Amino acid sequence: MPVITMELGKVSIEQKRELVTKVTELTAGVTGVPKEAFIVLIKENDAESTGFGGELLSDKRAKMAAEKKVGGNYE
* Residues forming the site for a second copy (CB under 8 A): 1-9, 11, 13, 15-28, 30-31, 33, 35-45, 48-59
6: CB partners within 8 A, 6+ apart: 19, 23, 40, 41, 42, 43
Q: CB of 11: closest distance to a second copy in angstroms?
A: 6
On whether the CB atoms of residues 9 and 47 are closer than 8 A, the answer is yes
Q: CB of 62: closest distance to a second copy in angstroms?
A: 12
Residue closer to a second copy by CB (options 31, 69) is 31
DSSP 9: S
